[in-house]
């Protein structure tokens, strides 16, 4: 399974922007119901894309500057970073097949 790890304002540059592999950042919050619904979907993505991507969780309440920098207005928001750049964004709960369609063409 793709490694799931937490990022914050201290390690975001190194873990996401400088990552050799594409990284899906899950902008989330502990109080967010749809975020909890999305968690198992994100875990399944991690299993299916193991070795291709890394998955990072970012708590928007603890990291407001990153949420503002990437204009995250609602959670959950999944953002795919490739070569340090955000290349795809999905906001709100989405089923796994829809997420795979959005992210897959950036991963081949």
Q: Does the annotation count 35 as an active-site position?
A: yes
What was the pLDDT predicted at 2?
A: 65
32 included as an active-site residue: yes
Q: Which of 4, 8, 19, 32 is labelled catalytic? A: 32
Rounded-to-integer distance, Cα 14 and Cα 80, Å: 15
Half-sphere exposure of 3 (CA within 13 A, CB side): 11
pLDDT tens by residue, 35-88: 999 999 999 999 999 999 999 999 999 999 999 999 999 999 999 999 999 999
| Domains contained in the chain, CATH given | 4-107 (3.40.30.10)
pTM (two decimals): 0.95
Question: What b/e sequence results for 97-108 when a residue is b if at least 16 CB atoms lie within 10 Å of its CB, and e otherwise?
Answer: eebeeebeeebe
């Amino acid at each position: 399974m793709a490694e799931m790890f937490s990022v914050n304002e201290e390690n975001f540059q190194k873990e996401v922007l400088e990552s050799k592999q594409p990284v899906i950042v899950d902008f989330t919050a502990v109080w967010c119901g749809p975020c909890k619904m999305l968690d198992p979907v994100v875990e399944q993505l991690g299993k299916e894309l193991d070795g291709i991507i890394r998955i990072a969780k970012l708590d928007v309440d603890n990291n407001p500057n990153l949420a503002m920098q990437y204009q995250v207005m609602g959670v959950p928001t999944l953002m795919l970073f490739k070569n340090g750049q955000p290349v795809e964004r999905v906001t709100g709960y989405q089923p796994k097949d829809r997420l795979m369609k959005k992210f897959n063409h950036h991963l081949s």
